[in-house]
Amino acid sequence: MKNNIREQILQATIQLLESDNDASHLTVRQIAEKAGVGLGLINYHFKSRDALINDAIGAMMFHAAKPYFSIPSAYENDPADAIKSIFKATSEIGIRYSLGRFAVQYTLLNGNMEVPALIVPLLRQYFEGRKSDLEIRMMAFSMVTTIQVAYIRSDAFRIYAGMDIQNEQQRNQLIDLVVDQFLSKEQK
């Protein structure tokens, strides 16, 4: 029962985010009304509006990356391309919602390791046993945090590197560069 209510609240939040794209306008009252629950249940299950929105955006990013989890045949011979595709799909969602930056900061500060864990199987496939599990996990963590920090500090990053993270083409170029640099310096 608890999980059903929690999921109901999460799904209502996702629907509201998808219809508005501006998480800063979303109120707990709107979420409660959409989910058909009392305000207290939102605080009980998520502790705060920000935590709920972070979980909703995280679920949306997870859903966007899900097609790449099973390493589909299109990526069997190129796990590096699958990693790039995961980053591109999830970063697009982060950019689309105005609290995407908040969600990334929240994830970094609260130690959520779900995002790096998503690409660990692909890195294992890429290195075919030539790297230890710790080396692979650290590489995944480093790739993710590099992209996250560039996003969080997008204004400073634009001045420093001349790349605008809000621009899809430039963001994708950064993702390609980060993944290629990490994988090429490790020599497949």
Q: How many residues does this entry show for the chain?
A: 188
Q: Are 59 and 10 in contact (CB under 8 A)?
A: yes
Q: Percentage of residues in the chain with pLDDT exceeding 90? A: 45
Q: How far is CA 38 from CA 26, 28, 42, 48, in A?
A: 16, 10, 7, 14
Q: What CATH architecture applies to the domain 1-47? A: Orthogonal Bundle (1.10)
**Identity of residue 186:** E
Domains of the chain, residue spans: 1-47, 49-185
Q: Considering the entire predicted model, what is its pTM?
A: 0.72
Give pLDDT tens digits for 63-100.
Answer: 776 665 555 555 567 889 989 988 888 888 777 765 56
- Cβ burial of 169 (10 Å; 0-12, 13-18, 19+) is exposed
